[in-house]
Amino acid sequence: MSRIVVTGGLPLCGELNAPGAKNAALPILAACLLAHHPVRLLGCPKLTDVANMVELLRTLGCSVNWDGDVLNIDSRSAQCHEMPEHLSKALRSSIFLLGPMIGKFKRAVANFPGGCDIGVRPIDLHIAALNALGVSIEESHGSIICEGSNLKGAAIHLDYPSVGATENAIMAAVAAKGETTIQNAAREPEVVHLQEFLCKLGYTVNGAGSSTIYIKGGCTPKTAEHRIMADRIVAGTYLCAAAITAGDITMRGIVPEQLGSIVGKLKECGCEVITESELIRVKGPKRPRELKRVETMPYPGFPTDMQAQIFALCTIADGTSMIVENVFENRFRHASELARMGAESCINGRIAVIRGVKTLTGTRVDAKDLRGGAALVLAGLRAEGETEVCGAEHISRGYEAIETALSSLGAKIRREP
């Protein structure tokens, strides 16, 4: 257990390079099981979730070594088709290993995954996609037992464009015989990034970024070196820090189009935004205007992973804002913590109405999940006095040394055990 202590009231100014994206790194790490040669992954973020995935790969028999921010992965000797229960429960993304494990070993045993407690998070779409590819799946006492000796290409239609189910289906389909199409696929940039990686390994995948993805089973094995794409959510979070502190922050090394919906909302609340080819600069207003309606949606809609941070911004807006959370059903747990700092909001199911207040007051609050924790840090940057965010280990799942990054922008912030 650790906590982050912030003294608010300082405008944050400066530049940051966006780190590698967790949500890109995790499926790509899983996909390394499908590599026929060693792989070098550059710019891997050092996060708890990544460390857990590395541990999972090692228990399956892969050799995985860090060299600075490069991960060297050799999966040629991997033989184990069972995920250890404690690791698969600790990490929601352990589910991504199902597709690659079935691809490599033709069978897999996993447990129902854990991760942030932000709703029910079922895996029915993953299972339906794997079933369509000829995998038989038995669920017993919390274990998922998959048998995939008849893995074959199929036409898959996802009932919802789930990011994880799309990625899992792609990773199983590359190892199947024949052709697969995935309709109503997730269009997130991280899916495109996975496609690029698999193509580097020698697989045939195209269409990612659109709603239909085409996969031809089979591989012409290649050695791959791949740089993990920049984290659009971490970048968005730090840009929100400029908006909430009346600061001036430049994020470098990003693809600005991937932050289109976030930038749109920052402009709407009165930020000045400058966009160049690989950079976004945000200058925050003295006090942000309210946001009439923010609705989370699959990409390119407003990301659910930025909802808590934009919520924090709305708490000090000059007016009343509304947020509709369409993706996860239990993702407003930051609201009650922000209320302890003086925020005023009312939650009804998936809708939050937030009446902006002039000042927040620092106090002790609990991070209940990853992005909610980041939102509390943002609120602390604006609040009068000292805010203690307990449960900082949630934040470490998605932000590498958030205190170091924010200190470099002028924040008074420290982490305590």
Give the interface with ligand UD1 as residue ranges (CB under 6 A). Answer: 23, 26, 92-93, 119-126, 160, 162-165, 186, 190, 303-305, 327-328
Tell me phi and psi for residue 249, to 5 degrees: -120, 140
Instruction: Quote the CA–CA distance of 93 and 44 in Å, as a whole number.
Output: 16
Shortest CB 104 distance to ligand UD1, Å: 20
Q: Decide if 75 contacts 32 (C-beta within 8 A).
A: yes
Residue 159: other Cβ atoms inside 10 A: 10
Closest alpha carbon to 186 in 253, 129, 116: 129
Active-site entry in 32, 62, 116, 240: 116
Question: In 142-200, where do the E strands start and end?
Answer: 143-147, 155-157, 179-183
Query: What phi and psi values does residue 17 have, to the nearest 5 degrees?
Result: -90, 135
- Is the separation of the CB atoms in 375 and 312 below 8 Å? yes
Residue closer to ligand UD1 by CB (options 165, 262) is 165
144 or 314, CB closer to ligand UD1?
144
Closer Cβ to ligand UD1, 187 or 283, answer by number = 187
Tokens of 56: 């999972």
| Strand 179-183 with 155-157, pairing | parallel
C-beta closer to ligand UD1: residue 350 or 355: 350
Residue closer to ligand UD1 by CB (options 105, 328) is 328
Task: Output the smallest distance, CB 233 to ligand UD1, in A.
Answer: 7
Task: Judge whether 346 counts as a catalytic residue.
Answer: no
Cβ proximity to ligand UD1, 158 vs 271, nearer residue: 158
Nearer to ligand UD1, 5 or 239 (CB): 239
Structure tokens at 75: 């999966």
CB 71 within 8 A of CB 64: yes
CA distance 148 to 104: 10
Structure tokens at 261: 């919906």
**In angstroms, what is the minimal distance from the CB of 35 to ligand UD1?**
20
> In whole angstroms, what is the distance from residue 126 CA to residue 345 CA?
35
| Strand partners for 346 | 353
Cβ atoms of 391 and 3 within 8 Å: the answer is yes
The minimum distance between CB 91 and ligand UD1, in angstroms, equals 9
Q: Which is nearer to ligand UD1, 174 or 185 (CB)?
A: 185
State the Cα–Cα distance between residues 238 and 227, nearest whole angstrom: 22
Residue 36 CB, nearest distance to ligand UD1 (Å)?
Answer: 25
Closest contact distance (angstroms) between CB of 335 and ligand UD1 is 18
Among 284, 239, 230, 245, smallest CA distance to 413 is for 245
| 376 token code pair | 């509390």
Beta-carbon contacts of 200 under 8 Å, excluding residues fewer than 6 positions away, are 222, 224, 225, 226
DSSP letter (8 states) at residue 397 = T
Instruction: Please list the active-site residues.
Output: 116
